[in-house]
Every structure is written in C-alpha cells, then in structure tokens.
Chains A and B, each alone.
Chain A
Amino acid sequence: MYKYDHYDQAMVDARVEEFRDQVRRRIEGHLTEDQFKSLRLMNGLYLQLHAYMLRVAVPYGTLSSAQMRALADIADKYDRGYGHFTTRQNIQYNWIKLEEAPDILADLAKVEMHAIQTSGNCIRNISSDQYAGAAADEEVDPRPYAELLRQWSTFHPEFLTLPRKFKICVIASEQDRAAMRLHDIGIRILRNEAGELGARFYVGGGMGRTPMIAPVIRDFVPLDQLITYSEACLRVYNRYGRRDNKFKARIKILVHEMGADEYTRQVEEEFAHLLSQGIEPPTAELERIRTYFQDPAFEHGALDALDRSDPDFALWVDRNTMAHKQAGYINATISLKPVGGIPGDASADQMRLMADLAERYSFDELRVTHAQNIVLPHVRKADLYEVWKQLDQAGLGTANIDQIDDIIACPGLDYCSLANARSIPVAQKISQRFAAGGKADALGELKLKISGCINACGHHHAGHIGILGVDRKGKENYQLLLGGSEAEDTSLGKITGPGFDEDGIVDAIERATDVYLRERGEGERFLDTYRRIGMEPFKEAIYG
C-alpha cells in the first residue's frame, strides 16, 4: 500500500490546521455560511438532510487494517456507531458536528487519510478495480497509476475549479469491475501488439440526468505520457466545458456536443504542446510509488484447494470469491447486504472485525467496492473457512454477490437532501421478497441498482434492473429500467413505462424476473435474456 512521505503528511496536516481555523472563524461569526460553504466542501463536509455529513476519501478503494480501525473509531467517537460505504469506494458519516470536524480530520491524518477531493468541482478521488493487484486476469496492478494520478490531481492549481466535478477510474483488465466507461475519464491499462503497456482513454462517460457511455479517445497512450495526456484531456474540458448551465457542465456534454472527433483533435493538439513542456513526472517517481505496491510475501506452494464439505461455506465460496493471481490464495468479498439490511452500512464493530481479519489473514489489506461491499484481497485458501466462520457469526456472511439482493442503493430520502424518494426501504423490501424461498438463488447474476433521484449515485442506469425514485405530486414514485450494465458490456437501461409506488415496484420486479425465468436460454443471465428478447415481453408482464 502507498505510504505517505514527508510531503504528503505535511500537506495533509497543514490542511487540517487550516480547516480548524476556518471552522473556528465560522463558529465565531467571522465567516458567513456563503463564505464557509466552499471551504467545508473542499474538506468533504456537506450539510445534509439531518446533520453535517463527512465523506472520507478511500483512494482507489484500498484500506489498511489500521485505517479501517480508525474509521470504526470515528464512527463510535464522533458519529452514531456506523458508516456508509459509497459507490465511489468512499465512506460517509451522517451525524457529524461541525465543531468536531477538525478533530476527525486530525484523526484521519494520523492514519494517512483525509476528506480532500470528495466534493466540489475538482478531480475527485480516483477509483479502481477492487481486486487490483490481486486479480488473476489483470495485466498489471493499476494502483500505482491511480496513485500517480491522485498526486497529480490533488491541489492541481489549474483544476481546482473545473466547470463541474470530475471522476477518473483506472483498471487493468478486460473485465470491468469498476464501471470504467461511466466515468469522466476511464483508463484501461493494456498491452499493445508489441507487448508494451499503455493506457486506453475513454472520455465523456457518466450517469446523472444525461447518462453517456464514454467513447475511446485514444487507443494507446504510452504510460510515460499518462499524466501529460490526462492533463490535455482536462485542459480542453476546462477551456470549453460550460459554466453557464450546471446541467450541461460535465465533460460528457462537451464531448457529445463538440463531437468525439473534434474533442480528440483538440486534445491531441494540446497533448503535442504539453509534450514540449516536459510536464510528465520523472519515471523515478512512478518507480518510487510502485515499490509500495509490491506483492505481499505470498507463501509459495500454499495449498490450492478448499474443503467444501460445509454446504453453507461452499455456497459462500461460489458467490463471494474471485480467482487470485497467486496459487493458493483467493479474493473474498464481504457482503454488506444482509437480507433486509441497509446496503453499504457497516457498524463500528463490523469494521473492526473486518480490520482484524484483514490483519490476520489478508496481509493487512481491505478494499471497498463500488457495489458497496468490502474485499479481503489476499486470503490463503487454507484460511478461508475460518474467515467465513468469523464473518458469519458477525452477520457478515451473506452469500449474495452480484445477485438480485446485492443491491446498490444510494442513501435516498432517508439521508439525502437532494432526494425525491427513499431508496433504502425499497432495497430492503426487494431483498426480503427475493431471499424468501430461494428466488434470488434461482435468478443467478442480476445486478439491481436504486437511486433516490436523477443524480444517479445508485447507478440505476447501469443496473440489469434499475430503479429511479421520483417525486410525483409530493408522493414517492419509482420508475423501472431494464437492460443496463456497467461491466465491459456497458449499456444504459431503458424505462419500462409508468412508475409505481413502493410496493408496486417490488411486484413489478417480480413480474420481470418471472419473464426471465420462463424465457431464459441455456446459461443466460437476466441481462442476456433481456437483450435477446427485448423490452416487449417484460412490458406485457409488468403492465399487462
């Protein structure tokens, strides 16, 4: 894992003290809320539906045990004993007091964490594959590049006030587990025909009110030009992105309106200019970063088999684990989606248990997934049964990854002041409905995603089944979408028709899944069947 050097620590510590002073001035009345708002947002502090909310950055979703423990301690000491893991691999706390916020940031700084780049019109926290450095199918660990981008983007003076927020994702496998093409910039690291590593740039993707899938802007950027090319992409956006209309300010609108070809031409022109300026960080810096992402001391020749005699364990293995690049090891995903639970929430005690398990069994590492779960990335197969038993005892043994009850749900109207409708109760009802009688198991892979408003934090456009909460004459109403995907086969869901109330949406989903169960071909997922037979049979069943 990356470790702060003297400069990183000094910057973060200085930022804490600066914010402490800003908070003091606000409380004493030297700053108005208007003056203070952008300062608190630069430190991840929002004013939400019930209280202040603090969003803490988890760079590319990677956490150490000590960091996870610190997050648990913050939940207990300053919040109400829990935190919420988000679709951008961060964590947020819902009940923060302004007067305590500087102390929280100071506690975070002690474990090399902060809340910078979690709000405002800057380059946000970089996201990545939750199995980075551990997946059997990756070309290379994408995190050193994500870290380089993080260092380039944090406090980049030119990009602190972009037209709108800006999200970058870096992956290094063909399988996309990070919704890469639905980011402002998606970067896939791959090899060219000569076997050299480079970066493919996808620019102008996003969800929100105008969802777009990012087109490829350049097939192959040599990795020693990664920052220069990124800078060129940002510069063109910063110059031409719209500042007059918030709803048209994201880069996806610029790329769409300018046309991908013209945008690319301008980026290439800027790139050529920047190359002559020599802005790329020295290779030595990337090498320095890379030393922090070396493989842990894997045991070579570790037993490469699992005892599957306990059927509950075998089921969990089938659902919640992923092949590891090292024989004898496995990626284990801890579901934060118990039946009827709140997607993405974890209590302080659960965080501590996950931290302890990571320390003991996963080389001190955890990952946050964009699907709001937690991964132990390097578990010896020989230890997996013990890990599962401890998780199960703590209510963390749910075997449902990528099933209909592994729901992505934004906080919705229960917590979010922008919401139109609640997301969480709908998620709870769906998971209860489908867990009963083993229906979720029968459906296999079916990704369901719920947003409480058009901002799409719950990725509803990209769900095999998506749900969007809307306000219909002061009442909560839910639109149903089918056919989205945020994997390598990225697609955007289509609305089925008129919306439903809270119970009606659950029934409608059940009718849609019945169509799938009736029509599915050999080996087809819900999404495959939908793509083959189209919307009509589903519509008929839902509204018929």
Chain B
Amino acid sequence: MKILTGNDLKSGAVVWWDGRGWSLHVEDAVDAGDDADTIMAREEAARRVNVPYAIDGERSAEGRVRPAHIKDRIRALGPTVRPDLTLKPADPEAGNWVI
C-alpha cells in the first residue's frame, strides 16, 4: 500500500494522510492508491501539509498500518533512544514496533 506523509508547515510535526486530513498517528494512515499525486498537490497548495511524499506501507497481522522501511517507522514513532519523546511514551515495547 502507498501511504502519504509530510510535515505540518508551522509545527514541523510528522503527519500522515488519513483520508480526510493529516493525523499525527501512522495507524490512521490510509492507502492513497492512484490518488496520491492529486492529494499531495492539493494539500500542499492549501498549506495543510509541507513537502508530502508517498512511501510503502504494510499492514500488520492485527491489521495496523505501519511503514515498510525502518527509517519511516522511526519517523512515525520518534527517536528510539528517547522513548519519553515518542508518540508512545508509556509503551516499553515501542522500540520493537520500529525494529
């Protein structure tokens, strides 16, 4: 599946296309399919996202979306060496989700 990511223009936060808008959580990401370019052009022009791009995503056994490549997984979670700063600060297993 193709999922779309970028950064929020003002805050710089990593965001994911959830079908209606941009979410902080990659689990909300949807398959953009053939519409990827159209969505990205429209959203960037409206400054709802900064420098969007499409990446490969995959669905886990439990059906959760996650990026296929480790770099994007770290981007989706936060630095593996500072669990307190990730999107799952209370989850001791967060690092495993990345690797």
Bound pair (A, B): yes
**What is A's interface to B at a CB cutoff of 8 Å?**
26-27, 29, 33, 47, 49-52, 80, 94-99, 342, 413-415, 417, 419, 422, 424-425, 428, 474-476
Interface size class of B (residues with CB under 8 A): 20 to 34
Q: How far is the CA of A99 from the CA of B82 in the complex (A)?
A: 25
Contacts A98-B12, A413-B71 given; indicate if A47 touches B81 (C-beta within 8 A). Answer: no
- Kindly list 5 other residue pairs between chains A and B, CB separation below 8 angstroms, not including A47-B7, A475-B70: A51-B14, A80-B85, A95-B12, A413-B70, A422-B80
B1 at the binding interface (Cβ < 8 Å): no
Contacts A413-B74, A414-B79 given; indicate if A27 touches B14 (C-beta within 8 A). Answer: no
A-B CB proximity, top 7 nearest: A51-B12, A414-B79, A52-B12, A99-B10, A424-B81, A97-B11, A49-B75
Cβ contacts B55-88/A at 8 Å (1 or 0 each): 0000000000000111100110011111001000
B68 to chain A: closest residue by CB = A474
B47 to chain A: closest residue by CB = A29
**What is B's interface to A at a CB cutoff of 8 Å?**
7, 9-14, 44, 47, 50-51, 68-71, 74-75, 78-82, 85
Do the beta carbons of B10 and A415 come within 8 Å of each other? no
For the complex, would chain B's binding face be called helix, strand, loop or mixed by DSSP majority?
loop
Q: How far is the CA of A33 from the CA of B78 in the complex (A)?
A: 24
Do the beta carbons of B70 and A342 come within 8 Å of each other? no
Q: How far is the CA of A80 from the CA of B86 in the complex (A)?
A: 12
Number of A-B contacts (CB under 8 A): 68
Contacts A47-B12, A49-B75 given; indicate if A33 touches B81 (C-beta within 8 A). Answer: no
Q: How far is the CA of A115 from the CA of B90 in the complex (A)?
A: 35
20 residue pairs A–B, Cβ–Cβ below 8 Å: A29-B47, A33-B44, A47-B7, A47-B51, A49-B74, A50-B12, A50-B14, A50-B79, A51-B7, A52-B12, A95-B12, A96-B12, A97-B12, A98-B9, A99-B10, A413-B74, A414-B79, A422-B74, A424-B79, A474-B68
Do the beta carbons of B81 and A342 come within 8 Å of each other? yes
Do the beta carbons of A428 and B81 come within 8 Å of each other? yes
Q: How far is the CA of A27 from the CA of B74 in the complex (A)?
A: 27
Of B51, B68, B71, the most chain A CB neighbours within 10 A belong to B71
Q: How far is the CA of A414 from the CA of B98 in the complex (A)?
A: 11
Do the beta carbons of A414 and B81 come within 8 Å of each other? yes
Contacts of A475 in B (CB 8 A): 70
Contacts A49-B75, A413-B71 given; indicate if A27 touches B10 (C-beta within 8 A). Answer: yes
Do the beta carbons of B47 and A419 come within 8 Å of each other? no
Do the beta carbons of A50 and B81 come within 8 Å of each other? no
Contacts A342-B81, A422-B80 given; indicate if A50 touches B11 (C-beta within 8 A). Answer: no
Contacts of B79 in A (CB 8 A): 50, 94, 414-415, 424
